[in-house]
């Protein structure tokens, strides 16, 4: 019995020595999942441009129209007759002393001209161009002064002299000025009918008066309203 136990123990020990240790196996790597996504791309239909026939005429570029207005003379109408107890129509005849005298006693102005004999505040003509010349070496500026003789009052009311403006010079002794009824002093253009009297005054370059022309009266008629 003792021999049987020893023999059985020996067999158990030899069996245990013959067992080979098992090496642990690594888990397999995870299998990659391939996801296929279907993307629907809209297809835009393109319309090819319509070809332009080569024989189709191209409309020309419009050219802006330029309208030229030709001005007509505003002093071609005849002067209306003034009524001032028998006063006559404005005349172009200048008084004998129209040229005036300088302080030295020499005639100061010559070639006194104007483009018309009457003008109007609200109708044409509204302008008269005045001109004058001088040979005085001292005169470097000429101003036009005016006054109004109101023909609607009895007796006639005459205003004080007023400086209208400095005349334009050509630097050769000749002076011109355009007088417009809208530029007259508002209180002096109030009469419905009046004589526009005027005279020229010469000045030196320092502003001193050299002399003046004669007073040219009752030769230019002013009307406030249309005739």
From CA 142, how far away is CA 122, in angstroms rounded? Answer: 29
| Superfamily covering domain 107-223 | Immunoglobulins (2.60.40.10)
Residue 161 CB burial class (10 angstroms; 0-12, 13-18, ≥19): middle
Instruction: Give the CA angle between residues 113, 175, 79 to the nearest 5°.
Output: 30
pTM above 0.85, yes or no: no
pLDDT digits (tens, 9 = 90+) for 155-206: 999 999 999 999 999 999 999 999 999 999 999 999 999 999 999 999 999 9
pLDDT digits (tens, 9 = 90+) for 50-79: 444 444 444 444 433 332 322 223 333 344
Q: Where are the domains of the chain?
A: 107-223
**Token duo for residue 200:** 């020229």
């Amino acid at each position: 019995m003792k021999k049987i136990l020893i023999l059985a123990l020996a067999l158990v020990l030899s069996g245990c020595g013959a067992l080979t240790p098992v090496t642990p196996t690594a888990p397999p790597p995870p299998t990659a999942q391939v996801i296929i996504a279907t993307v629907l791309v809209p297809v835009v239909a393109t319309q090819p441009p319509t070809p332009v026939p080569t024989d189709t005429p191209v409309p020309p570029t419009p050219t802006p129209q330029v309208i030229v207005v030709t001005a007509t003379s505003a002093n071609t109408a005849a002067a209306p007759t003034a009524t001032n107890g028998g006063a006559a129509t404005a005349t172009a005849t200048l008084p004998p002393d129209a040229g005036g005298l300088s302080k030295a006693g020499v005639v100061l102005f010559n070639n006194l001209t104007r483009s018309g004999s009457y003008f109007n505040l609200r109708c044409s003509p509204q302008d008269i161009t005045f001109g004058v010349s001088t040979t005085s070496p001292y005169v470097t500026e000429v101003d036009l002064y005016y006054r109004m003789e109101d023909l609607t009052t009895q007796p006639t009311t005459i205003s004080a002299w007023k400086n209208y403006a400095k005349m334009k010079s050509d630097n050769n002794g000749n002076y011109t000025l355009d007088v417009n009824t809208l530029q007259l002093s508002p209180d002096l253009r109030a009469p419905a009918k009046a004589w526009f009297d005027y005279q020229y005054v010469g000045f030196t370059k320092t502003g001193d008066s050299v002399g003046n022309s004669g007073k040219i009266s009752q030769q230019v008629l002013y009307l406030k309203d249309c005739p």
